[in-house]
Amino acid sequence: MIESPPLVAMIHAVPAAHRIAQDAFAQEFPQATVWNVLDDRLLEDAAEAGGLTDALRRRMLRLIAHVMDGGARGLLLTCSSYGEVVDTARMLWDVPVLKSDESMFKTALAGPYRRIAVVASAPPAVPAAVAQLEALVPAMRPDRPVDVVTALSEKAAGADPKEAAGHLADALRTAGGTDADAVLLAQYSLTPARDALAALLGVPVLDGAGAAARELRGLLTPAGTAAAAP
């Protein structure tokens, strides 16, 4: 009997995240059948409300229920602002559900970095990303704390990769984060600026899409764990 490719759903808040995650899965997890669901008001509505409301949480859970009813064997939420909803989803469905940057954070905390910078271009992404990162520290680095610095540049949103990298680097300088050992991109939409930002800062810049694809490959394919090293 030939096993069918695993169906992996991804829920996006911005079209750019859709394209970036699609490319990451094509490279890191080509065995998967990818199902993209986009609600391009999720981020704007959260910003206008000043954060997640009960109504927005219910809205995301309805989207998750939609893909689960459709047979998804794994799910990735590419918007970090809605990461807290994943905790509820994991209690409701017995299917791997990943927060947008969870795999990236695990990779960073497993590394030698003492001071980590988290950068974003959308205000809600900053506290959401930091909360995810800090929640993993006690389990992954109980004896080796990490110092986290954040930087926000709304100018980086929609800019071309080189300009976005410049804006993010400027924001890091203003925030006193230029001495960070590594930089984490809190949004998939910033991934195209990764290499230019690394060149400007001279430190590793990590993104979430490829790390998430590798983790789901390890969870959903028999040989995935052995092949999932970055």
**CATH C-level class of 102-207:** alpha beta
**pLDDT at residue number 2:** 45
**pLDDT at residue number 224:** 52
Please report, for residues 7, 94, 221, the alpha-carbon distance to residue 229 in angstroms, rounded to integers and kept in the order given. Answer: 21, 25, 14
- Residue 221: which residues within 8 A CB-CB, separation 6 or more? 6, 29, 31
In what side-by-side order are the strands of the sheet with 74-77? Answer: 33-38, 7-12, 74-77, 97-98
Which sequence spans correspond to the domains of the chain?
7-100+210-227, 102-207
The answer to whether 14 and 189 have CB atoms below 8 angstroms apart is yes
Question: What's the topology of domain 7-100+210-227?
Answer: Rossmann fold (3.40.50)
**pLDDT at residue number 189:** 86
Distance of alpha carbon 110 from alpha carbon 125, whole angstroms: 22
**pLDDT at residue number 206:** 93
**pLDDT at residue number 26:** 94
Same fold, 7-100+210-227 and 102-207: yes
- Residue 225: which residues within 8 A CB-CB, separation 6 or more? 218
Distance of alpha carbon 34 from alpha carbon 20, whole angstroms: 13
Per-residue pLDDT of the chain (230 residues; tens, 9 = 90+): 346 899 999 999 988 888 899 999 999 999 999 999 999 999 899 989 998 999 999 999 999 999 999 999 999 999 878 988 999 999 999 999 999 889 999 989 999 999 999 999 988 888 888 988 998 999 999 888 899 999 999 999 989 999 999 999 999 999 998 899 999 999 888 989 999 999 999 999 998 998 899 999 999 997 654 444 44
The amino acid occupying position 99 is K
